[in-house]
A and B are shown apart, each in its own frame.
Chain A
Amino acid sequence: MAANTKVKKVFSEALGSSNPVFAQILGICSTLAVTNKLENTFVMTLGVLFTTSLSSFTLSLIRKWISPRIRMMVETLVIATFVILVDISLRAYMPEIWRQLGPYVGLIITNCIIMGRAEAFALNNPPALSLIDGFASGLGYTYVLLIIAFFRELLGSGTIWGITVFGGWWNNWAIMIMPPGAFFMLAIFIWIVKGLWLEKEGSR
């Protein structure tokens, strides 16, 4: 039962109050860079989910043998190993998306969410729980990215997952798929979430 409540806590924190993207402002680079198309975003989030779960799990497994002085090096090595797996499989099975994502697949290594979870959770908790924690943080990242990508693709190209939803009457907001649109969209998203949240806390 105790394990069950712990798992619940891990999920509710990762998806809500300490969501990596909008509450801790981590992993912003890729949040902005890959969200101009829903399909690319989905593939990218799968890569991050895979890396963050398995690197948390692995680091937790070997946590007793990592000396604190070199732990950053070990963390980076473990994370980089999983990112290479993601990179190789994407290149083999989805070459077109791999090409569009460009350097951002490799940059999963420096995604602060993964390192952050390793530092804050995996090094002090058992493997199974760390795996769940890594997965939950990845999920928190995933749903924020998918929401942002949904609106950016819809407004910027009039499509969802490449399927046209708005007809010829729709003028594409070209700015939405370009860099400034990414910054504005994320700011608006943070504003809405924090606004709703502050209101809730104020009424308590």
Chain B
Amino acid sequence: MSTTLAVPVTIFFASIFTNNILLANYLGMCSFLSVSREIKTSVGLGIAVTFVMATTSLLNWLVYHYILIPLNLDYLRFIVFIMVIAAFVQIVEMIIERVSEGLYASLGIFLPLITVNCAILGVSLFMVIRDYDLLSSFLFGFGSGLGWFLAIMAMAGIRQKLKRAQIPRGLEGAGITLIITGMMALAFMGFAGILNIT
């Protein structure tokens, strides 16, 4: 494998495992905590997040490098990124609504949630800070989405079993979920030896 491709591929796998957007960078916690009760809904949200993350990281890269940098409007990136994300989510929602009713019923309800998911904006901001090229940004967004998907699905599976467990009163809900997330983060740290990105 040539080195030009090796870097993006490393970024892709690292963003799923070692630098998981949720477990290592704490992003997307709000929807992670509230939607991880059922496996079915978390799969729907996971797919939607992966799709939006991969596409918006691509769009934001293009906007940042071809519009903001040439115009010297670097400091406006927060507003521009969040607008791109919101507009994109809105368009996708409208298209899905027209094209497929079944898909809209299963995915559409999650789309408004995504605009305020900090992981999506986080991916775009990381991509600027780490100075990725186009391919790396896309694979980073895609991998981060998959990593988030993996984490929320695993959590939904564990929480379904947890329903039968006796939990101390103060820990019910958010408390126990955070502890399990901590354990998952601990487990994912085990991947750290394989590859790493900074």
Contacts and interface: CB of A to CB of B under 8 A. Distances in A.
B23 interface: yes
Contacts of A115: 116
B111 interface: no
Contacts of A103: 122, 125-126, 129
Interface string A76-88: 1100110110011
A76 B170 contact: no
A73 B27 CA distance: 22
What DSSP secondary structure best describes chain A's contact surface?
Answer: helix
Interface residues of B, number: 42
A182 interface: yes
Interface stretch (B6-14, B28-36, B42-50, B136-144): B28-36
A40 B117 CA distance: 23
Nearest to B77: A106
Interface size class of A (residues with CB under 8 A): 35 or more
Contact of A191 (B26, B34, B76, B168): B168
Contact of B117 (A110, A178, A179, A198): A110
Contacts of A192: 170
29 contacts: A25-B33, A25-B34, A28-B33, A29-B26, A29-B118, A33-B25, A33-B27, A72-B115, A83-B78, A88-B75, A103-B129, A106-B125, A107-B27, A107-B121, A107-B122, A109-B78, A109-B121, A110-B82, A111-B118, A179-B23, A179-B182, A180-B182, A183-B185, A187-B174, A190-B175, A192-B170, A194-B170, A195-B169, A198-B170
Interface of A: 25-26, 28-30, 32-33, 72-73, 76-77, 80-81, 83-84, 87-88, 102-103, 106-107, 109-112, 115, 175, 178-184, 186-187, 190-195, 197-198
